[in-house]
Structure 1
Amino acid sequence: MCMPTPRDVLALIERIRCISCEDERHALIKTLSAVERPTILSFLNAHGVNLCAGSSAAWSAFRASDVLLRDGVALETALPWLDQPVGLNMNGTDFIPLLLRHLSPRRVAVYGTAAPWLDEGIERLKERTPHDYVDAQHGFHSVEHYIARAREIEPDVIILAMGMPRQEEVAVQLKRALDHKVLIVNGGAIIDFLAGRFTRAPAAVQRIGLEWAFRLVQEPRRLFRRYCVGAFGFAHTVMLMRRAAMRSSSAPAPAPMHKEL
């Protein structure tokens, strides 16, 4: 399979659903509460853009998302350069708990992370949300295992907490294999945050867009490549996407078809 072009990655970014106010956020929650088929909710950040630029499998998995939301300040900075609306920062760490609090009682499965964080994260969710958590599986099984569990239990919501791009790839396989109404949420480190494995930045740090720096200080070995080295790759990809967008906008319109005499 060919590597994604800058135009391909730009097309993915153009699919981001821009949420610009609280009314739109609550309208999205209402939509997600009434899915009629297997539906994937994903979050795209700078790391995800880098993965998509370098992997056709990652790009295809993100492209299969039914709802794609912007996550993080890097994309907030880049989107105006690409003539795309910015909207609110819809990061999953904040939006997923909000979504779960507003959904009516559902049967929820959580697939991802590892012990003891998986059980502890689910306990926090039980305390804060009205749902029945019917299945919990660590994030190192085969995709066939998750499909078998989901077919057997038929949860209303599946939260995948495996990290990018594996969770997005598993989500696609679940979507293809399941035939009941289910919302599949690509949650990243949400369960680890809820369990206290990772600490959120203070609210003031989040407001000024430096949560990434706070996390880097906490986990320098794991996140240095993603945040520091990855920043250069992201900037390069944005430049290539901007060039692709400018070429598309300056391309001459096709000549009109002549009518037959």
Structure 2
Amino acid sequence: MTNPREVLTLIDNIRLIHSDEQRRDLIRSLEKVDRPTILSFVNVHAVNLCWSSATVYDAFRASDVVLRDGIGLSVAMKALGIQPGLNMNGTDFIPLLLQTLPKRRLAVYGTATPWLERARIHLENTTPHIIADMLHGFHPAERYLESARRHRPDVIVLAMGMPRQEEVAVLLRQSLDHPVLIVNGGAIVDFMARRFDRAPAVLQRLGLEWAYRMAQEPRRLYRRYVHGGFRFARNLMLLRRAASARSTGAQAQGV
């Protein structure tokens, strides 16, 4: 178990993006990484996972750049007195990032055939990158490390789902010796392969893409979205108490 103050620290560590210019600045900084660098996305599911597992919490805290993903975390941040900024969900930002970065050697580790091969075709048609390496998402973690050492990609997209991809990302960051951007992408490769469709634009604007996704995969996502939503509501109350206690303590120290 992770305590509320630790989870609050994770939320504090999210890089908030408030404008298109800040988003462009972020992409420019990710273009110039000089060491293994992890980009992660925190949503309601991530917070719930971190709450119940110190190992998962440590994996997220090891990320170099953390972005806010989803309306649930926006609501939570507002309740904590934080302006949440733009929704930087990976389903939109990762394609933008890959299309904007100059030509790179790209590795994709995740999902399964035939979706992985279909994602290759999509990436070859929509980005300037060389596809240096592709592996499905069910190998032991050491297999990805071995392959990344051999192919030395400039960008690695992990599409294994939370929390496995975050844990693999930490292994890669600790073990690789060349500059590489490691992106925790969730279901991004499945979306590229058109295994799943995005919600209609009106549902995206209303913050209801989660409901559309659950309709596509009810058996897998019902527990995450419905049960997880109730868990997060309880966790948010504890986070607000922790934030209030922290503020009171800071004020007492300043007196």
Q: Same fold (TM over 0.5)?
A: yes
Q: Tell me the TM-score normalized by structure 2.
A: 0.98
Corresponding position: 1:57 with 2:55: yes
| SS state at 2:227 partner | helix
Q: Please point out which of 197, 200, 203 is paired with 2:198.
A: 200
Residue 121 of structure 1 corresponds to which residue in structure 2? 119
Give how far 1:253 is off.
Answer: 3.0
Quick check: 1:105–1:131 contact (8 Å CA) kept in 2?
Answer: yes
| SS state at 1:253 partner | helix
Structure 1 letter corresponding to 2:60: F
What is the aligned length? 254
Structure 2 letter corresponding to 1:192: D
**How far apart, in 1, do the equivalents of 2:253 and 2:239 lie?**
23
Residue 33 of structure 1 corresponds to which residue in structure 2? 31
Residue 259 of structure 1 corresponds to which residue in structure 2? none
Tell me which structure has the larger Cα radius of gyration: 1
Structure 2: gaps spanning 5 or more residues: none
Give how far 1:26 is off.
Answer: 0.3
Give how far 1:231 is off.
Answer: 0.2
Quick check: 1:111–1:162 contact (8 Å CA) kept in 2?
Answer: yes
Residue 253 of structure 1 corresponds to which residue in structure 2? 252
Q: Tell me the TM-score normalized by structure 1.
A: 0.95
Residue 44 of structure 1 corresponds to which residue in structure 2? 42
Give how far 1:156 is off.
Answer: 0.1
> Which range is displaced more, 119-128 or 155-164?
119-128
Give how far 1:27 is off.
Answer: 0.3
Give how far 1:255 is off.
Answer: 8.1
**How far apart, in 2, do the equivalents of 1:99 and 1:14 lie?**
24
Measured at CA, do residues 153 and 33 of structure 1 come closer, stay the same or move farther in structure 2, by a change above 3 Å?
same
> 1:161-188 deviations in whole A, cap 9, x for unaligned?
0000000000000000001000000000
**How far apart, in 2, do the equivalents of 1:102 and 1:169 lie?**
27
**How far apart, in 1, do the equivalents of 2:166 and 2:83 lie?**
24
Structure 2 letter corresponding to 1:217: A
Q: Please point out which of 94, 102, 107 is paired with 2:105.
A: 107
Quick check: 1:122–1:191 contact (8 Å CA) kept in 2?
Answer: no
Residue 19 of structure 1 corresponds to which residue in structure 2? 17
**How far apart, in 2, do the equivalents of 1:166 and 1:128 lie?**
27
Corresponding position: 1:149 with 2:171: no
Identity rate, percent: 59
**How far apart, in 2, do the equivalents of 1:255 and 1:161 lie?**
45
> 1:102-145 deviations in whole A, cap 9, x for unaligned?
10000000001100011101210110000000100011111111
RMSD: 1.0
Residue 77 of structure 1 corresponds to which residue in structure 2? 75
Give how far 1:210 is off.
Answer: 0.5
Structure 1 letter corresponding to 2:149: R
**How far apart, in 1, do the equivalents of 2:120 and 2:62 lie?**
27
> 1:228-254 deviations in whole A, cap 9, x for unaligned?
010010111111011001011112534
**How far apart, in 2, do the equivalents of 1:254 and 1:26 lie?**
39
| SS state at 2:153 partner | coil
**How far apart, in 2, do the equivalents of 1:40 and 1:127 lie?**
25
| SS state at 1:136 partner | strand
Residue 219 of structure 1 corresponds to which residue in structure 2? 217
Corresponding position: 1:228 with 2:226: yes
